[in-house]
A = this chain, B = another copy of it.
């Protein structure tokens, strides 16, 4: 699998899981993982899980516009940069967002070490 294939497979898996049952996203983070969500910082799978499951909507749908990736310099490390739109239940308008992930290889699979999310307000 090339880096690009890995990045696309990760992005596909991440947002499908987010939209279907985002509690399961916690499996993609470890204790030293970091999330910056709209400027608020969370550290560790548990804190990230609480933030993601506590978001004030139940149903949502991500549509991905672009996926870019580069090796990060860490062993097997990969930076993935995503842009797309997010439709939240009860909202007429879609929200544009950008998000970056730094994926590292764990004992059994890749996990998210860095995660930064921002809405792109019009």
Which residue, of A34, A96, A120, has the highest number of chain B Cβ atoms within 10 A? A120
Contacts of A98 in B (CB 8 A): 81, 83, 98, 118, 120
Number of copies: 2
Q: Is the CB of B36 within 8 A of A116?
A: no
Q: Is the CB of B116 within 8 A of A68?
A: yes
Q: Is the CB of A66 within 8 A of B39?
A: yes
A100 to B74, CA, bound (A): 17
Is A59 among interface residues, defined by CB-CB distance under 8 A?
Answer: no
Is A77 among interface residues, defined by CB-CB distance under 8 A?
Answer: yes
Report the count of interface residues on A (CB-CB < 8 A).
26
A87 smallest CB distance to B (angstroms)? 16
Q: Is the CB of A114 within 8 A of B79?
A: yes
Proximity bits, A79-93, B CB within 8 Å = 1, else 0: 101010000000000
A77 to B79, CA, bound (A): 13
A114 to B102, CA, bound (A): 11
Is A1 among interface residues, defined by CB-CB distance under 8 A?
Answer: no
Is A113 among interface residues, defined by CB-CB distance under 8 A?
Answer: yes
Is A47 among interface residues, defined by CB-CB distance under 8 A?
Answer: no
What are 16 A-B pairs with beta-carbon distances under 8 A?
A36-B68, A36-B70, A36-B81, A39-B68, A68-B118, A70-B114, A70-B116, A72-B74, A72-B114, A73-B102, A73-B113, A73-B114, A81-B116, A96-B120, A96-B122, A100-B116
